[in-house]
Structure 1
Amino acid sequence: MRIFVTGASGWIGSAVVTELIDAGHQVVGLARSDASAAALTAAGVQAVRGTLDDLDVLREAAGASDAVIHLAFKHDIGFTGDYQGAAEADRRAVDTFGDTLAGTDHPFVVASGLAGFKPGHLATERDMPTIDGSPLSIRMATEQAVLALASRGVRSSVVRVSPTCHGEGDHGFMAALVAIARAKGVSAHIGDGANRWPAVHRLDAARLFRLAVEKAPAGSVLHGVAEEGIPIRDIAEVIGHHLDVPVTTVTPETASEHFAWLGPFLDLDVSASNTLTRELLDWRPTHPGLLEDLNRGHYFHAPSSVTPAETTSDQFPVRVFGGPTALFEYGGLRFLTDPTFDAPGDYPAPGGSVLTKTAPSAGSPAELGLVDVVLLSHEHADHLDRSGRALLADVPLTLTTPDGGKRLGDKARGLADWESVELDRPGGGTVTVTGVPAVHGPGPREEVEAFSGQVVGFVLTGDGLPTVYVSGDNASLDAVRETADRFGPVDTAVLFAGAPRFEGLFDGAPLVLDSATAAEATRILGARRVVPVHYDSWAHITEGRDALQAAFTAAGLADRLDWGHLG
């Protein structure tokens, strides 16, 4: 069969692709980025560029295929605050597939979950989850819509995948728990930790998806479950043992503070049977169980990062001072980002609001030495404070937004999107600095700029030099994709993160990349190294270093992180 797979380059999807190809099927995979497309092509898959929002792309690919396996889900937003948005996007994609496949009798297999069942009840394939209008139940309603397609001439089936689909290379829930325990110095569970999660090995799950697309009857519910339920306390104890940290408990009230986005999920009590699935498809899980897999040790390899001893000419040192301020030398010139050195306290912001600085900078202007160029993304008080403005008078050149270039005097130059300036290097040659798009909030750029003003990012290039991206206060992955299309892959990305939010502005959505989208930006850019900034020192920052570390670990990108040299 010619099978169209969404999420084909993901954790489960890449295993499903291998399983299908080994069984003689032709696979077409949805690819969100050039990197994903390249990975799929290398695996023998025909790549189709697009996202779950590109409904015409989904419709065309499904119509040209003999079967569809839908694995993709917007985990980057779903597990970092907007589960409803992710679930609604999933439903639109499913409805598009259903309309396309109606009357064909083609297989349509959809990944679902095991949430929504009564705690303490062993869920079977015959049980239907509770639909109560909550964001989580939106996905459960999508499952029922898939099953209803059987009456429209679609051989539809649902695979309810265990909350943890584990294996070597896993960057999901288990990897996030390990990262949190490492960062916090304790391995925690919620309450007495008796609540349970089912588990399945990734390779066993992949085989189930193949069997489903090949022979599951229309309207089938299948359980991707190898182990019915493992107490979270047992998982915490194994993690504590391997990291040599204490095992402790947190209350349900403090779970979100300790586990961040993972807290609500970790508090679920879910157990499920696979008896009917095994009987229907003769599926037999054969790979290690979760605790055995954890005890094999691969989850506990310490994340690497660039250190001074490992620094190469392509990985130059970056000094960080807190907030958005960083200093680095590139091509013999010294660049400073968004200078902020004022003391902690309250500072006025546009619209009569107040920005509160919570920590002192890790240095002062007097300790910087010579600065050749300031890269100023914009002029808000948390990016250019009074000390920073005074510093500009002593710097030969400030590159900033087009509006900022008009306001800041003769030493400032504004850069529009893709506009470049050539800077002479000591000893000959030039460094090129190009202005690149940045959007300081969610939504269309022109609408965001009406509230937040202009923001600019920068790309630095030069003969024999690495490519450097400085994002500025950007919340748009589309802007990152535009930059990656012209300059990727990049060697170093100085990513502004921290998910700053303000009540009443854009419904509280992040104005800059959150931790998950920073990890996705890294993947889009193909960045060899990421130096995060703008994740501390201000009260409106909502995600700090721990959240970034957990998100990059979950995305399999922890080895890209370089926290810089303080001060």
Structure 2
Amino acid sequence: MMKVLLLGATGYVGSAVADHLTRFGHEVVELGRGAADRPGRGRERRVGDLTDPGSLTRAVTPDIDAVVHAATPTGDAATDAAAVDALLAPLRGTGRAFVYTSGVWVLGATGPDPAGEDAPTDPLPIVGYRPLIERQVLAAAADEVRATVIRPGIVHGRGGGIPALLVNLARDHRAPLFVAPDGEAGGAPVHWPMVHVDDLAELYVAAVERAEAGTLWHGVAEPAVPVRDVARAAGRAADVLAAPRAWPVEEARAALGAAFADALALDQRVAGDAARQRLGWRPARAGAVADLATGSYRTYEVLGSPDAGEDDVRAVAALVAGVEHAQQSELPDAFMSHFRTEDPVWTTAHGRRLAGWEEINAFTHKVLPGAMRESTAVYDIERVLFVRPDVAVVNVRQRPVRWDGTPLADAPEGRPFYVLAKDAGTWRIAAAQNTQVVTG
């Protein structure tokens, strides 16, 4: 077990890092600006401020085994450099760990090939001095500090981060928006390297435990996610079904500030293979598009058995997302993988009753291929009731859409109702019924 001093422990990334350090058996000591805003999580809390170097040095006592800097920078190069020096001073000559948080925006536009950790930096103005801080941290390896830098991609998960901004923009503008560097036409596609906040937190744990001195890591699970797809999924999370709309960068600058808008318009492809190969990092959470469309950015009622935990809720959501993917991609075998093999039943939207795995399988292989040539549908959970820890019923809203994401006004919606059973730890459909919504 290590005792880890964590800056930014109540922030978006820092709170996830604190959770995972604790889960892996480490003791987290939070460093904050004052005792008045104590989060009350049962952790030791020390007082320190990035603008007061002396307070930072005093916080790094001999019992601290590692320091993780995940706090938001001040925006002033001299202040942030002095803060890093103050944190490093007690660590020099001790072999203790120091982990600093940077970001992939220091790379600038990367071109068509994913950039690795050895790629040159070309920082955007919003992170202009960050490479200098990176070098300052890495140079501490020469003074026997196990110093390392993590550059997260665009972080998603837990309903937060920049993707939450896209959800709010979609809700406010009644259309999914993404910042386009070349105006309304959108120009060349923009891509973001992305990572789930809980996967990223596990990379911090790996760095604290075993990263070598003077190393730099890209915290990226998905090297290049099309931002148009992220925006469409954000619209879905905001309950706005529409084609994504390019937001001219000049308009975005007026609303968000020039530096931030330009960063959102940056096209990047960034590799995160080194951490997988050398630290054993294994990002496994849902990708950004799935997380936005059907995961942590959506809200719905969860009722019933208190013995069903968050893992079960996530598994149920993943099952419904899997049904949607199989339908949209016309994959009969993938669709059938979500059914129990033992006596499932299904009543279709047209009232056809199917009983048994073989009958449902034959029907699915007959009707699904070719069914999505011109349009598809999205499946959104509205309510989950856990009747027992191993039995759940799910209300779903099924909406027909064109492939660009716009709804089909002349096509009826469906209301699938699933009865799920947990077999050997895996949730599957035991019974399903779809009912068409008739209006007029």
Please classify the TM superposition score into its range, dividing by the shorter chain length: 0.5 to 0.7
Report if the CA contact (8 A) 2:9-2:15 is conserved: yes
Report the equivalent of 2:399.
none
> Structure 2: which 5+ runs fail to align?
181-185, 301-440
Give, in whole Å, the separation in 1 of the partners of 2:277 and 2:244. 39
| 1:413-424 correspondence runs (5 A) | none
| 1:167-316 correspondence runs (5 A) | 167-170=157-160, 172-189=161-178, 190=180, 191-192=186-187, 194-241=189-236, 242-260=239-257, 262-301=260-299
Give, in whole Å, the separation in 2 of the partners of 1:146 and 1:287. 30
Q: Does 2:83 match 1:93?
A: yes
| 1:39-438 correspondence runs (5 A) | 39=39, 41-42=40-41, 44-64=42-62, 65-74=64-73, 84-85=75-76, 87-117=77-107, 118-120=109-111, 121-130=113-122, 134=125, 136-163=127-154, 165-170=155-160, 172-189=161-178, 190=180, 191-192=186-187, 194-241=189-236, 242-260=239-257, 262-301=260-299
Report the equivalent of 1:11.
12
Report if the CA contact (8 A) 2:100-2:137 is conserved: yes
Give, in whole Å, the separation in 2 of the partners of 1:187 and 1:147. 40
Give, in whole Å, the separation in 1 of the partners of 2:149 and 2:295. 32
Report if the CA contact (8 A) 2:157-2:196 is conserved: yes
Give, in whole Å, the separation in 1 of the partners of 2:32 and 2:193. 29
Q: Secondary structure at the match of 2:129?
A: helix
Report if the CA contact (8 A) 2:233-2:290 is conserved: no
Report the CA distance between 1:62 and its aligned residue: 1.7
Task: Deviation per CA, 1:188-208: give whole Å up to 9, x if none.
Answer: 221246111111111111111
Report the equivalent of 1:465.
none
Give, in whole Å, the separation in 2 of the partners of 1:233 and 1:27. 38
> Structure 1: which 5+ runs fail to align?
79-83, 303-567
Report the CA distance between 1:127 and its aligned residue: 2.1
Report the equivalent of 2:420.
none
Report if the CA contact (8 A) 1:88-1:138 is conserved: no
Report if the CA contact (8 A) 2:147-2:213 is conserved: yes
Give, in whole Å, the separation in 1 of the partners of 2:212 and 2:81. 22
Report if the CA contact (8 A) 2:114-2:269 is conserved: yes
CA, structure 1 residues 56+280, in 2 after alignment: closer, same or farther (shift >3 Å)? same
Report the CA distance between 1:186 and its aligned residue: 2.4
Amino acid aligned to 2:16: A
Report the CA distance between 1:34 and its aligned residue: 4.6
Report if the CA contact (8 A) 1:197-1:230 is conserved: yes
Task: Deviation per CA, 1:215-242: give whole Å up to 9, x if none.
Answer: 1000111111110011111111222344
Give, in whole Å, the separation in 2 of the partners of 1:21 and 1:290. 25
Report if the CA contact (8 A) 2:232-2:242 is conserved: no
Give, in whole Å, the separation in 1 of the partners of 2:95 and 2:211. 12
Give, in whole Å, the separation in 1 of the partners of 2:51 and 2:254. 32
Counting matched residue pairs gives: 287
Give, in whole Å, the separation in 1 of the partners of 2:261 and 2:202. 30
Give, in whole Å, the separation in 1 of the partners of 2:223 and 2:123. 23
Amino acid aligned to 2:244: V
Give, in whole Å, the separation in 2 of the partners of 1:251 and 1:18. 39
Give, in whole Å, the separation in 2 of the partners of 1:2 and 1:159. 20
Amino acid aligned to 1:236: A
Task: Deviation per CA, 1:4-62: give whole Å up to 9, x if none.
Answer: 1100111111121122222222221112355642x2x42x3211123211221210112
CA, structure 1 residues 301+193, in 2 after alignment: closer, same or farther (shift >3 Å)? farther
Report the CA distance between 1:185 and its aligned residue: 2.3
Give, in whole Å, the separation in 1 of the partners of 2:78 and 2:293. 37
Query: TM-score, normalised to structure 1's length?
Result: 0.48
Give, in whole Å, the separation in 2 of the partners of 1:35 and 1:186. 41
CA, structure 1 residues 193+181, in 2 after alignment: closer, same or farther (shift >3 Å)? farther
Amino acid aligned to 1:247: P
Q: Secondary structure at the match of 2:128?
A: helix
Give, in whole Å, the separation in 2 of the partners of 1:35 and 1:179. 31
CA RMSD after TM alignment: 2.2
